Amino acid sequence: MNARKPTLAVFGATGAVGTVMLSILSQRSDVWGEIRLIASARSAGKVLQVRGEDIVVQEITPEAFDGVDVAMFDVPDEVAAHWAPIAVSHGAVVVDNSGAFRMDPEVPLVVPEVNPAQVRNRPKGIVSNPNCTTLTMIDALGALHAGWGLKELVVASYQAASGAGKSGMDRLYDEIEVLSGNREVGQHVGDVRAAVSDKLGEDSPFPAPLAFNVVPWAGSLKEGGWSSEELKVRNESRKILGIPDLKVSATCVRVPVITTHSLAVHAVFQRPLTADDARQALFEAPSIVVLDDPAAGEWPTPADVVGSDPTFIGRIRQALDFPNTIDLFVCGDNLRKGAALNTAQIAELLAQEFTK
């Protein structure tokens, strides 16, 4: 095969994550030839800029994938489930950011810093991108697992409003606007809910007000009282790390942050390690920034790392009452590494197959 720059399609280019994808494509190394933007009929005809060029968005049709080598998808599960096989049948390799294929045994779930070789194991022509919550912590866990063998994981997530898409971001901004300046609200049972519902109504992507609040729920209800988001953390961590019997318990919480997920991680390992061991391994890992000096008030927060590509780690401690156990705090922009950036990195791995 002659070396050439492959053709890339972005399906879902006008959504919240799709918009970040286009920005990332303009910032990273130019490995692509033609870039084609595809969306629903509602968005077709819009003009978006990528790599300094104006590109007209095409309506989704089977023929839109003709000549495409790699297609990045950021669309709802049911849309991806329908269109990904069609794109593959027209010759594209699909990198899908939805949940439609993540647990399919014939579809690899890839994080380039952790399991890049799996990108070649794609009998269906599809590579899946993990959930943003899993992605926030998985670089760090991959680095520590390589040295000490991860065996148990307890996670509490603090998930931003943008995890629910643009509607989630808009709802939080609206709630903040309603409540701002009122120094009485938040001091009596139900007053936040009443103030928000009076002004905005009950139509919200969240099951409770998010401003001035935290909501111990993300996702849909599953058996045993678990949320779909919590089960994703368990199942996807097992698949990415290649530990099918990894013990995982997760509690997913929505917090009044616009963008950037955080997680408190309690990780148990097979072999002894110290906090200094873990800190050094994380310091040496690609795509991780260690901010860990409590005496100086240095640790990551969403407001300080939003818009950044790396995963940020702090509060690294050896658990006092649990042997071979490290506790740490992780922050990562859920629209970048948690979605668009990891999708782009997978696509770049695929692009190498066309340029060798």
Catalytic residue annotation: 132, 261
Residue type, 261: H
Torsion angles phi and psi, residue 263, rounded to 5: -140, 140
Write the CB contacts of 190 (distance below 8 Å, at least 6 apart in sequence). none
Task: In whole angstroms, give the CA distance from residue 205 to residue 126.
Answer: 29
- List, in sequence order, the alpha helices (H) in 120-243: 132-148, 166-179, 191-200, 228-241
Partner residues linked to 268 by β-bridges: 152, 325
Task: In whole angstroms, give the CA distance from residue 142 to residue 328.
Answer: 14
Q: Could you give the angle at the alpha carbon of 238 between the alpha carbons of 329 and 336, nearest 5°?
A: 50
Nearest to 302 by CA among 314, 287, 285, 286: 314
Q: Is 23 exposed, middle or buried (0-12, 13-18, 19+ CB in 10 A)?
A: middle
Task: In whole angstroms, give the CA distance from residue 15 to residue 19.
Answer: 6
Partner residues linked to 317 by β-bridges: 327
Task: In whole angstroms, give the CA distance from residue 279 to residue 274.
Answer: 9
Spatial contact of 169 and 265, defined as CB atoms under 8 Å apart: no
Spatial contact of 265 and 141, defined as CB atoms under 8 Å apart: yes
Q: How far is CA 192 from the centre of its chain?
A: 30
Task: In whole angstroms, give the CA distance from residue 139 to residue 310.
Answer: 9
Which residue's entry shows tokens 């995982």? 248
